[in-house]
Amino acid sequence: MINRIVVGAHYGLKDWIAQRATAVIMAVYTVILGAVLLVVRPSGFEAWQGIFANGFIKFVTFLFFLSLFYHAWIGVRDIWMDYVKPTGLRLTLHVVTLAALVGYAAWAAAILWRL
């Protein structure tokens, strides 16, 4: 039995849980959207756009994108932490990744709320 004293800011556990929670949200969304597409069977532009113009689908699609970007932040940050040793370069990559993901989130919102 090892008496491990847990110290620190605990962001590791928070991120671990967030990565899994966002994964579940995205998995559920994938199944819901798959079911909607199987039922509606959109044949052209009008029907396809109509799906995402629907208020509920628009909301959950945006929720999916937000989950995706949070999930990707944790995953990509882990990749940088595993393979990039020089601190300055790693920090730069972290900032670039975060900036890109925040930008994608705004882009996704713009796409959805134009509908």
- Interacting residue ranges for another protein, rule: CB under 8 A: 20, 23-24, 27, 30, 44-45, 48-49, 52-53, 72, 75-76, 79, 100, 104, 107-108, 111, 114-115
- Give the nearest distance from C-beta 20 to another protein in angstroms: 6
Alpha-carbon gap, residue 22 to 26, rounded angstroms: 6
How many other CB atoms are found less than 10 A from the CB of residue 71? 19
Three-class SS state of 16: helix
Are 68 and 102 in contact, with CB atoms under 8 Å apart? Answer: no
